[in-house]
Structure 1
Amino acid sequence: MRYEFADCVLDVDRHVLLRSGETVSVEPQVFDLLELLAESPGKLVPREEIIERVWKGRFVSDSTISARIAAARKAVGDDGKTQRIIKTIVRRGLQLATDVNRDAAKAQKNDPQTQQLRYAQSRTGQIVPYTLAGDGLPVLRIGSVVHDLEAEWRLPGERTRLTDMTNRFHLLRYNKDHRAMSDSTRQVTYDRRIDEILTVTKAAGFDQFSILAEFSGTFPALHFAARYPDRVKKLVLAGGWAEGRDHRAGSEQPDSIRTLIEEGWQTPGSGYAMGSMLSYFPDGPLDSVRLMVNEMQSLYSREQKLEYRDTGNSASVVHLLPDVKCPTLVLHGRHSAVHPLPEARKLAAGIPNASLVVLETGNQIPLPGNAAYDTYMKSLTAFLEAPD
């Protein structure tokens, strides 16, 4: 998203302010204030809305607000005396008193090949990248193959999936904090995940929304739905599992996927790395899986991948299932081997008012180009769009 006004360009995607072609350094709160004003040029932005957007509704002194307004004026070449760009409406709020060109932003919004990154700050100060695209019912998507918004967008198959979703829904996605696993207990990690969800849904203006949880996104989704039942309208669990490998019969046998990661993850294009991913997606398409592996090897070290595997193996959400009150749909591949169909049945049986759709595939989740992909999309769309 780009806003052009006076001699300034506010590039929201890059989080950059330019004036006369030169980068102007601004604090995050000043940038947020400029973005808020640029969204409604010529209109009064009330003081209460400014506090809610820039300071997330926290108490803030008049002197702090005045300092940020002064910094915003200085950044765009204005001052409190002339107020030719940012005008104060006494005792009411602010107004961007200049025309704003948003043609580039509109073209970008309608371009299916463009992803717009935004940033929200949690109550603990963590910056959470997120994207918001499409129209329709508000849907938060949690969990993906690569756990990275930019890497996911680079994958043609995943971009097709996301485009299909944004054609039907107002889709919100975010980057989780990858550090949260290695330095925390399991409960602290889930608390951080919940804090991330609260942060991005507030930034997106989602009050009540549905959740599409794929893969390990099942776990934070269930924790959130159990803790905030009034916020979650509907829940879709796709390719998830109730209990990891450590809780299942036969767990005493060696973990072959873990061995493949240990042996070959650090070698680019390794057959071992491909083998670990094909365990999840045996039906392919093969080219899509190969591109996933390439992206993931550039993002995550062997140690990180082993940690993700161990976390999934040891996880269990059985105790949470009775506390999930919203209508729930479970989608799962009939021939999935890593997290087999009985795990999906546990989810559906344990959650009140849940149903299960079995997909004719060996993939954990059908990829675009897979025979079960259309059924997958039609099932989740019909469920989410059905009247309450």
Structure 2
Amino acid sequence: MPLNLVAPIETECIQPMRYEFADCILDVDRHVLLRGGETVPVEPQVFDLLELLVESPGKLVAREEIIERVWHGRFVSESTISARIAAARKAVGDDGKTQRIIRTIVRRGLQMAAEVSRDSEPAQQSEHRTQQLKYARGHDGQAIAFAVSGEGPPVLRVGSIVYDLEAEWRLASERTYVSAMDAKFTMLRYNKSHQSHWGDPCRANYEGVAEDILAVTQAAGFDRFAIVSEFGGIFSALQFATKYPERVSRLAIVGGWAEGRDHREGVAGPDSIRNLIIEGWKNPGSGYAVGSLLSYFPEGPLETVREIVGEMQALYSVEQKLYQRDSGNTASVLHLLPQVQCPTLVLHGRNSAVHPLSEARKLAAGIPDASLVILETANHIPLPGNDVYDTYIETLQGFLSAANE
């Protein structure tokens, strides 16, 4: 039987806000910047800087306060700070010469020079700034946390960067993604971290996770729904889609692979990502640990990658990370592809080095009624701040929305 416990996770901001200045709107609730009515893609740190400035228009925001808010007190170089300020100015249509919106107070800090009006959004939308967890009973008897947010057709997310709901919510890049999807769909996300028992990676229990998905979706009241699968979530999603085809309306595969590294022709030598994990995972923020994730996201943004690594190092031991890497290397889903019965979209970065485009082509060729969209990026999956991020989100939303046309 599903568990009905609710565990709210507190956030700093409960009442969502919109700030209007010049021809811009900074929508804190949805983590969106609009200029002239058009969405302007910004990196999470740039958004945090803008939010800090609009909270105190006309007042000096000291350099120390900026570092504390945007970089959480960590040491950063002057060039990094200057780059974020320049990016913030560019995003709002300003520049360092005119400084009509963001003014530099020499050797002291910054000032929001434009007039700012603040508008609280309806109280019922505050759920976007908090996260409430409910629980279902998994196939092995363990409780599985899940969260439901947004309005619209039902969509289940299988797989993510950190595989943990609380860690996801702490990451600005993940909140940006969830907010964008919430605007169109009722999103169901669940904890995946408990499902691996860190045994033999060649025998990962993807059959068990299909039953976990069934339990979570039933507890959430999802009957027939679309699935977005990311990274290794493809293995769970395919198991579920082929075992319960009547429940899956559409399937999106983002950054997936048909065969792991151990099955691919022409792959020789040691696994460099595995070696980076061994060398540096125990040391918080180490260059080796960051390097292991930069292999997936060479275009960054770097600060976003660092934040993700920090959450992952807190969640997973070296042994657990190696298990994840090894299970992905040894996995193959070629036998499942012909059994998929729903329309499928495969999204993949053209220059991804971790799982090459050829793996995405195998998926699209092996699944009946599948399409492949190639994203012009070296990132395995686009992150907020990448040039193709908006294209990625719009393509994904368009495909998932078509399930209800």
SS of match in other structure, 2:132: coil
Aligned runs of 1:121-160 on 2, under 5 Å? 121-122=137-138, 124-160=140-176
Match of 2:299 among 283, 291, 308: 283
Match of 2:6? Answer: 12
Does structure 1 residue 333 correspond to structure 2 residue 349? Answer: yes
SS of match in other structure, 2:162: coil
Task: Give the Cα separation in 1 of the matches to 2:347 and 2:201.
Answer: 29
Q: Does the Cα contact within 8 Å between 1:121 and 1:128 map onto a contact in 2?
A: yes
- Residue 265 of structure 2 aligns to which amino acid in structure 1? A
C-alpha deviation, 1:192, in angstroms? 1.7
Task: Give the Cα separation in 2 of the matches to 1:184 and 1:200.
Answer: 26
Match of 1:230 among 243, 246, 252: 246
C-alpha deviation, 1:202, in angstroms? 0.3
Q: Does the Cα contact within 8 Å between 1:180 and 1:192 map onto a contact in 2?
A: no
Task: Give the Cα separation in 1 of the matches to 2:199 and 2:326.
Answer: 15
Aligned runs of 1:11-90 on 2, under 5 Å? 12-14=6-8
Task: Give the Cα separation in 1 of the matches to 2:309 and 2:183.
Answer: 27
Task: Give the Cα separation in 1 of the matches to 2:201 and 2:289.
Answer: 28
Does structure 1 residue 191 correspond to structure 2 residue 207? Answer: yes
Does structure 1 residue 115 correspond to structure 2 residue 131? Answer: yes
Task: Give the Cα separation in 2 of the matches to 1:279 and 1:182.
Answer: 23
Q: Does the Cα contact within 8 Å between 2:201 and 2:324 map onto a contact in 1?
A: no
- Residue 282 of structure 2 aligns to which amino acid in structure 1? Q
- Residue 350 of structure 1 aligns to which amino acid in structure 2? G
Q: Does the Cα contact within 8 Å between 1:334 and 1:362 map onto a contact in 2?
A: yes
How big is each residue's C-alpha offset from its partner over 1:203-246, in whole Å with a ceiling of 9 and x where there is no partner?
11111000000111111101111111111000000000000100
Task: Give the Cα separation in 2 of the matches to 1:308 and 1:218.
Answer: 14
Does structure 1 residue 218 correspond to structure 2 residue 234? Answer: yes
Aligned length: 289
Match of 1:79? Answer: none
Match of 2:318? Answer: 302
How big is each residue's C-alpha offset from its partner over 1:289-341, in whole Å with a ceiling of 9 and x where there is no partner?
00001111111111111110000001100110000010000000001000010
Task: Give the Cα separation in 2 of the matches to 1:171 and 1:308.
Answer: 25
Match of 1:350? Answer: 366
Does structure 1 residue 384 correspond to structure 2 residue 378? Answer: no
Cα distance change, pair 179–139 in 1 and its aligned pair in 2 (3 A)? closer
Match of 1:316? Answer: 332
How big is each residue's C-alpha offset from its partner over 1:29-64, in whole Å with a ceiling of 9 and x where there is no partner?
xxxxxxxxxxxxxxxxxxxxxxxxxxxxxxxxxxxx
Indicate the structure (1 or 2) with the bigger Cα radius of gyration. Answer: 1
Task: Give the Cα separation in 2 of the matches to 1:372 and 1:244.
Answer: 26
Q: Does the Cα contact within 8 Å between 2:5 and 2:134 map onto a contact in 1?
A: no
C-alpha deviation, 1:249, in angstroms? 1.8
How big is each residue's C-alpha offset from its partner over 1:241-278, in whole Å with a ceiling of 9 and x where there is no partner?
00010011233311110110110110111000011000
Does structure 1 residue 371 correspond to structure 2 residue 365? Answer: no
Cα distance change, pair 112–179 in 1 and its aligned pair in 2 (3 A)? closer
* Runs (4+) off by over 3 Å: 106-109, 183-188
SS of match in other structure, 1:13: strand
Task: Give the Cα separation in 1 of the matches to 2:204 and 2:295.
Answer: 30
Match of 1:360? Answer: 376
Asked which structure has the greater RCO (Cα within 8 Å, sep 6+), the reply is 2
C-alpha deviation, 1:186, in angstroms? 5.7
Does structure 1 residue 259 correspond to structure 2 residue 275? Answer: yes
Task: Give the Cα separation in 1 of the matches to 2:196 and 2:283.
Answer: 26
Q: What is the TM-score when the length of structure 1 is the normalising length? A: 0.71
Task: Give the Cα separation in 1 of the matches to 2:267 and 2:194.
Answer: 27
C-alpha deviation, 1:13, in angstroms? 2.0
Match of 2:223 among 207, 211, 230: 207
- Percent sequence identity is 60
Task: Give the Cα separation in 2 of the matches to 1:192 and 1:184.
Answer: 15
How big is each residue's C-alpha offset from its partner over 1:85-140, in whole Å with a ceiling of 9 and x where there is no partner?
xxxxxxxxxxxxxxxxxxxxx94753422111111123542200000001101000
Cα distance change, pair 334–157 in 1 and its aligned pair in 2 (3 A)? same
Cα distance change, pair 177–260 in 1 and its aligned pair in 2 (3 A)? closer
Cα distance change, pair 334–266 in 1 and its aligned pair in 2 (3 A)? same
Task: Give the Cα separation in 2 of the matches to 1:203 and 1:177.
Answer: 19
C-alpha deviation, 1:187, in angstroms? 6.1
How big is each residue's C-alpha offset from its partner over 1:351-381, in whole Å with a ceiling of 9 and x where there is no partner?
0000000001011110011111111111111
Q: Does the Cα contact within 8 Å between 1:108 and 1:114 map onto a contact in 2?
A: no
Match of 2:33? Answer: none
Task: Give the Cα separation in 1 of the matches to 2:204 and 2:211.
Answer: 10
Task: Give the Cα separation in 1 of the matches to 2:318 and 2:211.
Answer: 28
SS of match in other structure, 2:186: strand
- Residue 230 of structure 2 aligns to which amino acid in structure 1? E
Cα distance change, pair 277–188 in 1 and its aligned pair in 2 (3 A)? closer
Cα distance change, pair 108–13 in 1 and its aligned pair in 2 (3 A)? farther
C-alpha deviation, 1:195, in angstroms? 1.5
